[in-house]
Structure 1
């Protein structure tokens, strides 16, 4: 469990709940920019600044400088640059100089001038939500950018001084073929980013895409076709120098996302902003999701947090530790598990581990238990087996 003496690093996640346009597949806590949103954006930036000033210094006093900062959304770069640079500067002043400071960006919202400003304000890693280099597919999922704008955004990032850039890609999109995916990956590789994330499309309840599927108007690839895309990706990217360090993430050596690895390794992190999640002192919470209610709560000096677990037991903590660690290629560190819970991993999960080793879905080293490549394809099934 987390305590003051055990913490060697911590992170901060800041949520920006605005987008230029909501994508058809998205169920994240975000909303499209309206005519009256700029005033709300100013109020939101002020509230976020106030929450940062209230919450970050006490943790820095306890644990030292934050190791990582991640600004996600939504689309952080839907904010005017003055607002985003103010948030970045306040994070740097209060949290120290994090080793890694990531900003998510939509290629249709940035240019060299914008990126130069956020780089100067402290961002040193950029995550570009490209999704595809096929304009037909981009239109089908409601993205606001084109393939050419994605390429331009990447080159703008390089010109602005970013030496750590990640590209997001998706597979299993409506009407997408393996050939379509291969062409997008080839385009991505030609840019030579440091990191590539690949996500299979999930049609989430309540989204426009789910409504289209219910109406019989969504031509998704078959399960076999989507699996073929997955298999090709997990072979092609490592062959091109991007090692798979987490189920959906590939990186050149040394460019793994430190912040996201912190999630899987049970590292505490402060969540600030509307709908942000946090995890400090073994407690997980979610901030108020309604943007205006969040602004009002911060203005009034109130807590905007709701704990996610009414009662958190030692058993819950062990389960969470295990299935989060299994998302990484490294897997569960048996030594750290024993140190954290004063119990041997095999004593708690020995039967489950043996079952999946026999089935070829888990493997054991001298220090870790990890998913095999076959296990990563059915990760959710194995995660569930670690829940008592």
Structure 2
């Protein structure tokens, strides 16, 4: 077994409808989608069998599995459960198996099939409980459908549910956000993720902003929303364990923690990314080309860091670990790179502690509350090859 275990990320590049803010690799389901989705599921299962079996032989059963997208639940339940079955066949029984879902694509029957197939954690992309805002950002579900999805998940046997919420949405006010948070808390999920809207290049929101038609909250209003979330969620028992993630004790996302703690993971599917033996790669992004390549037995990976140096690896380790509340484990840094962190970053650490953005205690170096808010500035300070 890899000392930290290992994970699998499987990408499902389909959605019922693309959201106005989304720049992830996915496409809206069209008239020919059912045939393509069947072909895609077959190719994905073939890649899983090809790539996961050797890793299981090296490291034992997979530790975590995450099906993301896109919208995995845009697939018919039969296809998604086949993918889950293939993962179990090739990689064993994970401790945690998460499936992302859009509330508008699931019911109790669908979720019950996922639960029987081995999924034990559900991540629901709610984003807001305000129907006006949901419509404005292009979501296909309503607030009531989000509530119904949580009820259905409980009835199907899920006892580990995460809800995604967004803030700083167009025309959103603090009062709007408060209502959504109260609705989320009333559903008592085990985990809540919160994301501030980022207008990404190439999205409908980017076009609207360029045309002066996107009424975003100003910086002060967005910061007020952020501060509210950072205070409100811990007050209700959700510990902030990563910059954007809050959980009840014991319900932190094992899979996502793996990303930030340098745990190896296999990425499968079109546009999936992986990290094995210190090498990061991205898969072919076009679903049809991916299907053809897998069926032809061809390589679908492109290395992302062919010129990666030891310095790059240390930089990456530092800013990923700093996303978590625990921060950098100094002993693990030394084990990983063979040097003490002060031999590399002493001046940066002292500077950021002086700015009250980092703190140091019990063998860990972590962001302060102010550092969490200004995380990108701190991460940039750890880049040696600027």
Q: TM-score range by the shorter chain?
A: over 0.9
Cα shift readout 1:207-250 (whole Å, capped 9, x = no counterpart): 00000011111100000000000000000000000000000000
Q: Which runs of 5+ in 1 are unaligned?
A: none
Offset, 1:186: 0.2
Residue 112 in 1 paired to residue 117 in 2?
no
Cα shift readout 1:38-88 (whole Å, capped 9, x = no counterpart): 100000000000000100000000000110000000000000000000000
User: For 1:194 and 1:325, how far apart are their aligned partners in 2?
Assistant: 23
Residue 80 in 1 paired to residue 76 in 2?
yes
Offset, 1:346: 1.1
Q: Which residue number corresponds to residue 249 of structure 1?
A: 245
User: For 2:3 and 2:95, how far apart are their aligned partners in 1?
Assistant: 16
User: For 1:185 and 1:114, how far apart are their aligned partners in 2?
Assistant: 27
Number of residue-to-residue matches in the alignment: 384
Q: Provide TM-score, normalisation by structure 1.
A: 0.98
Q: Which residue number corresponds to residue 225 of structure 1?
A: 221
Cα shift readout 1:88-127 (whole Å, capped 9, x = no counterpart): 0111111111000000000000000000001100100000
User: For 1:246 and 1:80, how far apart are their aligned partners in 2?
Assistant: 33
3-state secondary structure, aligned to 1:295: helix
2:182 aligned residue (164, 186, 189): 186
Residue 20 in 1 paired to residue 25 in 2?
no
3-state secondary structure, aligned to 2:356: coil
1:70 aligned residue (63, 66, 69): 66
Q: Which residue number corresponds to residue 49 of structure 2?
A: 53
Residue 140 in 1 paired to residue 125 in 2?
no
2:231 aligned residue (224, 232, 235): 235
Offset, 1:382: 0.7
Offset, 1:8: 3.7
Q: Which residue number corresponds to residue 294 of structure 1?
A: 290
3-state secondary structure, aligned to 2:65: strand
Moved more, 339-348 or 128-137: 339-348
User: For 1:234 and 1:282, how far apart are their aligned partners in 2?
Assistant: 34
2:310 aligned residue (314, 332, 337): 314
Offset, 1:138: 0.2
Q: Which residue number corresponds to residue 375 of structure 2?
A: 379
Q: Which residue number corresponds to residue 98 of structure 1?
A: 94
Offset, 1:347: 1.1
Offset, 1:7: 3.2
User: For 1:366 and 1:347, how far apart are their aligned partners in 2?
Assistant: 18
Offset, 1:22: 0.0
Q: Provide TM-score, normalisation by structure 2.
A: 0.99
Residue 369 in 1 paired to residue 365 in 2?
yes
Residue 44 in 1 paired to residue 40 in 2?
yes
Residue 161 in 1 paired to residue 149 in 2?
no
User: For 1:317 and 1:100, how far apart are their aligned partners in 2?
Assistant: 27
The answer (yes or no) to whether the contact 1:102–1:126 under 8 Å persists in 2 is yes
Residue 274 in 1 paired to residue 274 in 2?
no
3-state secondary structure, aligned to 1:138: helix
User: For 2:36 and 2:301, how far apart are their aligned partners in 1?
Assistant: 21
Q: Which residue number corresponds to residue 175 of structure 1?
A: 171
2:25 aligned residue (23, 26, 29): 29
Superposition RMSD in Å: 0.7
Offset, 1:333: 0.3
Q: Which runs of 5+ in 2 are unaligned?
A: none
The answer (yes or no) to whether the contact 1:106–1:128 under 8 Å persists in 2 is yes
The answer (yes or no) to whether the contact 1:89–1:121 under 8 Å persists in 2 is yes
Offset, 1:366: 2.2
The answer (yes or no) to whether the contact 1:127–1:168 under 8 Å persists in 2 is yes
User: For 2:30 and 2:250, how far apart are their aligned partners in 1?
Assistant: 40
Q: Which residue number corresponds to residue 197 of structure 1?
A: 193
User: For 1:356 and 1:64, how far apart are their aligned partners in 2?
Assistant: 40
User: For 1:8 and 1:68, how far apart are their aligned partners in 2?
Assistant: 11
User: For 1:183 and 1:286, how far apart are their aligned partners in 2?
Assistant: 39
3-state secondary structure, aligned to 1:69: strand
The answer (yes or no) to whether the contact 1:8–1:63 under 8 Å persists in 2 is no
